[in-house]
Amino acid sequence: MLSDTIAAISTPLGEGGIGIVRLSGPRAFDIARRVFIPAGGKEWWKGNPGYRLFYGYVSEPKSGEIIDEVLMGVMAAPKSYTKEDVVEFNCHGGFIPLRKTLETALAQGARLAEPGEFSRRAFLNGRLDLIQAEAIIDIIRAKTDAGLKLAVSQLKGDFSCKIGSIQKELTALLAEVEACIDFPEDYIPEDRAKTRGKLVKILDQVGFLISSAEKGKIYREGILAVIAGRPNVGKSSLLNALLKEKRAIVTEIPGTTRDIIEEAVNIKGIPIKLADTAGLRPTDDPIESIGVQRSRDALELSDLVLFVIDAVQGFTKEDEELLEGIQDKKKILLLNKIDLTGAGRGPAAGCPAGESPVLEISAKTGAGLEELSDTIERMVFEGKIEPGGNYLVSNVRHRDILRRCEYHLKEALQAVEEGLPEDLQAVDLRAAWVTLGEITGSTATEEIIDSIFANFCIGK
Ligand code: GDP
């Protein structure tokens, strides 16, 4: 129900400088009038209180008990997050003052908001479309600068605009085709060629967005890169160097990294889960063999392998065997410890890198690590589209919708090319149109909307 007034604590629970209790709905100001005592006794609700901050106290109206000293932010409809009257009490950031402020608001007739209900209202009141609502979660959960940038651009409406323009072209085309259903005699072969041309153009745009999805997914979710190689070649040292802090234990006894150490790093804006694996050598030590098995599992799942070779020892038989085991994996070969051998000495000559890049690095001095970052970035995006403006699809839901839309468009194209009657073309075009609308929410069902807002936290 949209006519009631909702309230929730909008900041995480725990101690903090401030914490916010938010109210939204037609009675927000009325409730605030009852529970807020302005310090100067000012009648803040008179005139136009929107976009102002008032200093005072929250109190329990019946007993007059002061709960907290607050700043009250007031945003009048429709210029607020929900397009309703909104009041935010900036309390001191402790659980008790926040909870008591909330309880007082509830006692005055507000209802506790469900998770995501503020954003849901923003959507239902036309303040945000679904893409923008989802971008808010992406901003909150962003793992890297690039992921944040993408989400902010989606919140600004760049992606919505792109979808809107495709939808407009589709609407116009559908109208043309539907007009011909009633007057088929007016439909001449040139018209058919035009329809085909327009359809191909729309398909291209949808196809481009789909192809951007893989890259968008990488920025959002990241990849798993596994550091592999014989014991003592410098895997843990490399992990530490990439993390720029000591985490894995570096030792001079082979085979001591017994378990997998996983860390998240940000390389060129790409979130990368880095796993340092135990040495992959055969072993009788039961604990070490568990590590070896885990390493193999991690390798199996990895998107990229950083295969470390000891430059001092050169490419050994053991390295060769290990490499054979990961033939099909995307990998970068790293000749480590070049601070000892000097760069360009090329024991690399002996290693069968195949298509994989070979880099000379030193985990100890950091030499070659910048080039490694560049190479990782290049390999991760290899064969994928170049950064295509801000229209990257980073959300699985969007990608699936675009794929379904593409399917219907292809069916429509086939119908046009085979000269099937216009009403059959229209069926497919209409299906594509309805499907596309699910992205922004213009044609989304209640279930879809529910499932999206269920991902939000309370108070958002
Ligand atoms: P791991 O078993 O593959 O994880 O190897 P570690 O990272 O534990 O390193 C084994 C030994 O090689 C340690 O003594 C490190 O200090 C040393 N080491 C690792 N990388 C380098 C490097 O780039 N240069 C030099 N000189 N020593 C290194």
Judge if 241 and 102 occupy the same domain: no
Residue written as token pair 């303040």: 127
Atom of ligand 1 nearest to the CA of 361: 23
For residues 368-381, give the mean pLDDT.
Answer: 88
Rounded to the nearest angstrom, the distance between the alpha carbon of 248 and the centre of ligand 1 is: 11
Contact indicator for 130, 116 with CB cutoff of 8 Å: no
Q: Does residue 232 share a domain with residue 302?
A: yes
Query: Which residue did the predictor score with more confidence, 47 or 278?
Result: 47
pLDDT class of 278 with cuts at 50, 70, 90: low
Q: Is the pLDDT of residue 228 over 50?
A: yes
pLDDT digits (tens, 9 = 90+) for 184-224: 676 677 788 899 999 999 999 999 899 888 777 777 777 88
**Residue 384 banded pLDDT, cuts 50, 70, 90:** very low
449: in domain = no
**Is 274 inside a domain boundary?**
yes
Buried b / exposed e along 17-52 (16+ C-beta atoms within 10 A): eebbbbbbbebbbbbbbbbbeeeeeeebeeeebeee
Q: Specify the CATH number for the domain of residue 296.
A: 3.40.50.300
For a mutational test of ligand 1's pocket, the pick from 250, 288, 295, 322, i.e. the residue with the most ligand atoms closer than 8 A to its C-beta, is 250
Evaluate whether 5 touches 28 at the Cβ level (below 8 Å): yes
In a domain, 455, yes or no: no
- Number of structural domains, the chain? 3
Atom of ligand 1 nearest to the CA of 250: 8
DSSP character at residue 93: E
- pLDDT tens for residues 42-64? 888 888 888 899 999 999 999 99
Percent above pLDDT 90 for the chain: 48
Domain contains 452? no
**Residue 73 belongs to some domain of the structure:** yes
Whether residues 252 and 368 fall in one domain = yes
**What is the pLDDT of the chain when averaged over all its residues?**
86
Co-location of 75 and 52 in the same domain = yes
Q: Between 134 and 144, where is the model more confident? A: 134
Expressed in angstroms and rounded, the spacing between residue 276 Cα and the centre of ligand 1 is 13
Instruction: Give residue 282's pLDDT band: very low, low, confident or very high (50, 70, 90).
Output: low
Q: Of 114, 129, 144, which residue is a domain's last?
A: 129
pLDDT at 246 over 50: no
Is residue 446 a part of any domain in this protein? no
Please indicate, yes or no, whether residues 234 and 349 belong to a single structural domain of this protein: yes
CA of 271 to the centre of ligand 1 (A): 25
- Looking at the structure, do residues 125 and 137 belong to the same domain, yes or no? no
* The pair of three-digit structure tokens given for residue 365, joined into one six-digit string: 């001095």
The answer to whether the beta carbons of residues 242 and 227 sit under 8 Å apart is no
64-78, 199-213, 389-403 — which is least confidently predicted?
Answer: 389-403
Pocket test for ligand 1, best of 232, 237, 277 (most atoms within 8 A of CB): 237
Among 129, 163, 188, give the residue marking a domain's end. 129
Neighbours of 1 (CB within 10 A): 6
Let me know if residue 218 belongs to a domain.
no
The CA 250 to ligand 1 mean position distance, Å, reads 7
Residue 247 and residue 376 in one domain: yes
Ligand 1 center from residue 232 Cα (angstroms): 6
Residues 214/384, Cβ–Cβ less than 8 Å: yes
Residues 322, 252: one domain? yes
Paired with 20 in beta bridges are 90
Nearest CA to ligand 1 atom 2: 232
Statement: the pTM of the whole predicted model exceeds 0.85:
no
Is the domain of 239 the same as that of 315? Answer: yes
Q: Which residues contact 109 (CB under 8 A, 6 or more apart)?
A: 5, 27, 31
Domain of 45, CATH number, reads 3.30.1360.120
Cα-trace Rg, the chain: 30
- Give yes or no for a cis peptide into 12 (omega within 30° of 0): no
Residue 83 forms part of a structural domain: yes
Please say which residue of 67, 96, 129 terminates a domain.
129
Residue 236 and residue 375 share a domain = yes
**Which residues sit with their C-beta closer than 6 Å to ligand 1?**
229, 231-237, 250-252, 257, 279, 336-337, 339-340, 362-364
| pLDDT exceeds 70 at position 438 | yes
pLDDT class of 388 with cuts at 50, 70, 90: very low
CA distance 278 to 320: 17
> Are 230 and 377 contained in the same domain?
yes
Q: Say if residue 404 is in the same domain as residue 317.
A: no
Find the domain containing 332 and state its range. 223-381
